A and B are shown apart, each in its own frame.
Chain A
Amino acid sequence: DAKTTQPPSMDCAEGRAANLPCNHSTISGNEYVYWYRQIHSQGPQYIIHGLKNNETNEMASLIITEDRKSSTLILPHATLRDTAVYYCIVRVASNTGKLIFGQGTTLQVKP
Chain B
Amino acid sequence: DTAVSQTPKYLVTQMGNDKSIKCEQNLGHDTMYWYKQDSKKFLKIMFSYNNKELIINETVPNRFSPKSPDKAHLNLHINSLELGDSAVYFCASSHAPGTGSYEQYFGPGTRLTVT
List chain A positions with a Cβ less than 8 A from chain B.
32, 34, 38, 41-46, 49, 85, 87, 93-101, 103
**Are the C-beta atoms of B104 and A42 separated by less than 8 Å?**
no
**Are the C-beta atoms of B92 and A85 separated by less than 8 Å?**
no
Of A38, A43, A46, A87, most buried by chain B (CB within 10 Å of CB) is A43
Q: How far is the CA of A103 from the CA of B102 in the complex (A)?
A: 22
- Among the 9-residue stretches B69-77, B78-86, B93-101, the one with 4 or more Cβ atoms under 8 Å from chain A is B93-101
Of A42, A87, A97, A99, most buried by chain B (CB within 10 Å of CB) is A97
A-B contact pairs, 13 of them (CB 8 A): A32-B101, A43-B106, A45-B106, A46-B104, A85-B41, A93-B98, A94-B98, A96-B97, A97-B50, A97-B94, A97-B102, A100-B45, A101-B43
**Are the C-beta atoms of A43 and B103 separated by less than 8 Å?**
no
